[in-house]
Amino acid sequence: MKTYHISLNIKTPQGKFEAYGKFELGDDKQFAISVFERLKGDDEVSEKSVLHMDLTEYVDGFPFVLNAKHCTLEELAANTKRISCDIFKRCALDGDDLAG
């Protein structure tokens, strides 16, 4: 089974990225990709990046990062709002269940 998530990551003082949040997008790959493509940020995650978001596909529990975006704090806030709106529309208006 495949599921899709967008994770929120922050660089620690030790230079490692640590996930601190995750949006579950369900099992529809096209929906997950369309949500991620509309997010603000830079497609190039660099050494200077402090915040980034990953689009991850989980296959039988194993994660595979499909895409990543570097974000400023302001972009992260806008992206969080956008993802929440997209999930709300999908669940509440379309009646789709993200759990599959």
Question: What tens digit of pLDDT does each residue of 25-83 get?
Answer: 999 999 999 999 999 999 887 778 899 999 999 999 999 999 999 999 999 999 999 99
Q: How far apart are CA 65 and CA 26, in angstroms?
A: 15
Once rounded to an integer, what is the mean pLDDT over residues 14-26? 94
Looking at residue 95, what is its pLDDT?
60
The predicted pLDDT at position 96 comes to: 60
Return the biggest CA–CA distance within the chain. Answer: 43
pLDDT of residue 55: 98
Q: In sequence order, what E strands does 1-100 have?
A: 2-11, 17-26, 51-59, 62-71
Rounded to an integer, what distance in angstroms lies between the CA atom of residue 71 and that of residue 41?
A: 5
Percentage of residues in the chain having pLDDT higher than 90: 78
Whether 99 has a pLDDT exceeding 60, the answer reads no
CA distance 27 to 25: 7
| Domain parsing of the chain, residue ranges | 2-93
Single pTM value for the model: 0.86
